[in-house]
């Protein structure tokens, strides 16, 4: 076990150096990619003390479960109510549309559901924020008596260095990605895009294999570094199933971070299908559902990027690549409440089933077996796999 742990730390150290090199040049380019987990490992060593008889005795003295929920809500208010109005108001800053049925909406839905469940004030949401107007939009949100401000993507995170100092009473949270510097007033969460998309490529390869086809298309924005990492890792996973499989990357955005251009995306899909593609991966925001609907109407296999509930949607998606903003936020908030994720620290989510990575809807036993095998290989810290995925991340961020 110690050998595997040493290998993992070595890999993460290499990735940290890559992220730091690219992050200092252009913070806007930081995406959903691997972050240094050496801080996370250090944090994890300060685990809660082992259970003793004292807490158990206290529970026996006051076993009434009815008191649990009010105390929990009161504790949340005490912890986060920075303006003393007796409630917790969450602000959500989204780079894309709040109703995209994908990554952005999942974060908005979480904030709305969490607030309603705890009888908090409704969240205040600002969406379709571009990098140029991010400073003003985030400042406007901060001035509306919010207690927690959740920033949904790295492309609008650059102003946080100033804003976290300007509004220190707000608890700032961001799923910012690799290359974004830690800030004293910001709690961050991230994931490893290469590992997530390796599992996705294996899932897509299993589907192509069952189709008897060889050609897929990836619809993205504009070749941003986190897209490059995710595409190369998907192709790697795809070709680990069969080396003859191909996947073409097609950028559909008219400008950087334009993941919402449905007209361009559907036109690109039609062209790809005419050229023989039988599977599409929609790495998109506002254009996600239009592509999914057209693809399934045309009998193509379709994978969605982001949402954890992809198999419950009206569109009959073949599967999805889960990195759900709302699911991440729900996990991060638990860590924040428990004191394990604090302002100034970063937590990297592992790649594991049920949290992120590939999911297949109505999968055959063989296809699901292939996906399970991919997750198993990741969990084993396989030398060759981690070396290859590390190289993919390095090329995307260090090139």
254-263: pLDDT as tens digits: 998 899 999 9
Domain region containing 373: 193-323+351-398
Residue 374, Ramachandran bin (φ over 0: left; ψ between -120 and 50: alpha; else beta): alpha
Alpha helices in the chain (DSSP H): 2-23, 38-44, 53-61, 68-80, 103-117, 134-142, 160-166, 193-211, 225-241, 262-274, 288-297, 325-337, 365-379, 383-398
- Please give the tally of structural domains in the chain: 2
Residues 220, 155 share a domain? no
How does DSSP classify residue 126? Answer: E
Higher pLDDT, 366 or 41: 366
Considering the domain boundaries, does residue 108 fall inside one? yes
Considering the domain boundaries, does residue 23 fall inside one? no
Residues 342, 307 share a domain? no
Coil vs helix vs strand at 319: strand
Mean pLDDT (whole number) for 180-189: 88
pLDDT at 148: 92
Question: Per-residue confidence at 66, pLDDT binned at 50, 70, 90?
Answer: very low
Question: Per-residue confidence at 12, pLDDT binned at 50, 70, 90?
Answer: very low
Considering the domain boundaries, does residue 104 fall inside one? yes
Distance CA 155, CA 150 (A): 14
58, pLDDT greater than 60: no
98, pLDDT greater than 90: no
Edge-first strand listing for the sheet containing 186-190: 124-126, 90-93, 148-151, 171-174, 186-190, 346-348
Distance CA 338, CA 342 (A): 9
Higher pLDDT, 156 or 2: 156
Using CA atoms in the order 140, 145, 149, 155, what is the torsion angle rounded to 10 degrees?
0
Q: Report percent pLDDT > 90 for the chain.
A: 59
Residues 284, 216 share a domain? yes
b/e map of 207-225 (b: 16 or more CB within 10 Å)?
bbbeeebbbbbbbbbeebb
In angstroms and rounded to an integer, the radius of gyration of the C-alpha atoms of the chain is 21
pLDDT at 104: 79
Pairing relationship of beta strands 319-322 and 357-360 according to DSSP bridges:
antiparallel
The per-residue pLDDT for range 228-237, each reduced to its tens digit, is 999 999 999 9
Mean pLDDT (whole number) for 56-62: 32
Q: Report percent pLDDT > 70 for the chain.
A: 81
Query: Any idea what the CATH number is for the domain that residue 152 is in?
Result: 3.40.50.2300
Residues 177, 127 share a domain? yes
Query: Mean pLDDT over all residues of the chain?
Result: 82
64, pLDDT greater than 50: no
The per-residue pLDDT for range 331-343, each reduced to its tens digit, is 888 888 888 889 9
pLDDT at 153: 78
Residues 336, 217 share a domain? no
pLDDT at 397: 87
Question: Per-residue confidence at 72, pLDDT binned at 50, 70, 90?
Answer: low
Mean pLDDT (whole number) for 149-170: 90
pLDDT at 399: 57
- Beta bridge pairs of residue 174: 151, 188
Residues 203, 154 share a domain? no
Edge-first strand listing for the sheet containing 246-251: 246-251, 215-220, 279-282, 301-306, 319-322, 357-360
| Residues in contact with 47: Cβ distance below 8 Å, sequence separation at least 6, in sequence order | none
Considering the domain boundaries, does residue 3 fall inside one? no
| Residues in contact with 263: Cβ distance below 8 Å, sequence separation at least 6, in sequence order | none
Q: Which two tokens stand for residue 32?
A: 């959903």
Q: Which segment of 205-209, 253-257, 274-278, 363-367 scores lowest on mean pLDDT?
A: 253-257
Residues 132, 77 share a domain? yes
How many Cβ atoms sit within 10 Å of the Cβ of residue 125? Answer: 18
Assign 3-state DSSP to the chain and report helix, strand, coil percentages, each to 5. Answer: 50, 15, 35
Question: Per-residue confidence at 178, pLDDT binned at 50, 70, 90?
Answer: low
226, pLDDT greater than 60: yes
pLDDT at 53: 30
- Beta bridge pairs of residue 279: 216, 301
Considering the domain boundaries, does residue 360 fall inside one? yes
Mean pLDDT (whole number) for 19-46: 35
60, pLDDT greater than 70: no
Residues 308, 295 share a domain? yes
Considering the domain boundaries, does residue 300 fall inside one? yes
Cα–chain center distance at 102:
11
Residues 385, 367 share a domain? yes
Considering the domain boundaries, does residue 388 fall inside one? yes
Distance CA 117, CA 374 (A): 36
Mean pLDDT (whole number) for 266-291: 97
How far CA 125 is from CA of 53, 79, 121, 184, 372, in Å, comes to 45, 22, 12, 24, 37
Residues 316, 205 share a domain? yes
Higher pLDDT, 187 or 176: 187
Higher pLDDT, 158 or 399: 158
35, pLDDT greater than 80: no
Mean pLDDT (whole number) for 125-131: 89
Angle between the 68-80 and 325-337 helix axes, to the nearest 10 degrees?
Answer: 90
Greatest distance between any 2 Cα atoms in the chain: 71
- Beta bridge pairs of residue 346: 188
Residues 343, 312 share a domain? no
Q: Which segment of 92-96, 197-201, 383-387 scores lowest on mean pLDDT?
A: 92-96
Residues 365, 230 share a domain? yes
Q: Which segment of 130-139, 226-235, 355-364 scores lowest on mean pLDDT?
A: 130-139
- Sort 139 into a burial class: Cβ within 10 Å, 0-12 / 13-18 / 19+: middle
Coil vs helix vs strand at 139: helix
Angle between the 262-274 and 288-297 helix axes, to the nearest 10 degrees?
Answer: 30
Considering the domain boundaries, does residue 22 fall inside one? no
């Amino acid at each position: 076990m110690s050998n595997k742990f040493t290998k993992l730390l070595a890999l993460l150290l290499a990735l940290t150096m890559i992220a730091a090199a690219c992050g200092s040049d252009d913070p806007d380019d930081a995406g959903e990619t691997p972050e240094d987990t050496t801080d996370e490992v250090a944090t994890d060593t300060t685990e809660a003390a082992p259970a003793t008889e004292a807490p158990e005795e206290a529970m026996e003295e006051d076993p009434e479960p009815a008191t649990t929920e009010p105390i929990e809500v009161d504790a949340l208010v005490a912890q986060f109510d920075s303006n003393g109005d007796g409630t917790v108001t969450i602000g959500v800053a989204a780079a894309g549309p709040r109703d995209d049925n994908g990554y952005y909406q999942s974060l908005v839905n979480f904030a709305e559901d969490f607030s309603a469940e705890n009888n908090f004030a409704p969240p205040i949401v600002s969406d379709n924020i571009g990098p140029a107007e991010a400073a003003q939009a985030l400042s406007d949100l901060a001035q509306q008596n919010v207690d927690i401000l959740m920033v949904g993507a790295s492309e609008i995170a650059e102003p946080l260095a100033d804003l976290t100092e300007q509004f220190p009473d707000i608890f700032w949270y961001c799923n910012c990605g690799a290359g974004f510097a830690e800030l004293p007033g910001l709690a961050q969460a991230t994931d490893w895009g290469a590992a997530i998309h390796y599992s996705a490529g294996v899932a897509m390869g299993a589907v192509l294999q069952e189709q008897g086809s060889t050609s897929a298309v990836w619809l993205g924005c504009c070749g941003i570094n986190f897209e490059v990492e995710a595409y190369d890792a998907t192709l790697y996973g795809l070709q680990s199933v069969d080396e003859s499989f191909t996947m073409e990357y097609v950028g559909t955005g008219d400008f950087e971070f334009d993941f919402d251009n449905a007209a361009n995306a559907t036109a690109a899909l039609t062209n790809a299908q005419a050229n023989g593609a039988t599977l599409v991966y929609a790495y998109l925001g506002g254009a996600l559902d239009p592509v999914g609907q057209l693809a399934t109407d045309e009998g193509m296999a379709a994978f969605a990027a982001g949402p954890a509930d992809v198999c419950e949607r009206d569109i009959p998606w073949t599967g999805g690549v889960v990195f759900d903003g709302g699911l991440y936020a729900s996990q991060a908030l638990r860590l924040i409440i428990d004191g394990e994720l604090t302002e100034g620290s970063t937590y990297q989510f592992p790649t594991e089933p049920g949290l992120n990575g590939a999911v297949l809807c109505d999968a055959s036993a063989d296809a699901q077996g292939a996906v399970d095998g991919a997750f198993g290989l990741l969990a084993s810290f396989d030398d060759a796999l981690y070396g290859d995925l590390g190289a993919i991340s390095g090329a995307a961020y260090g090139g």
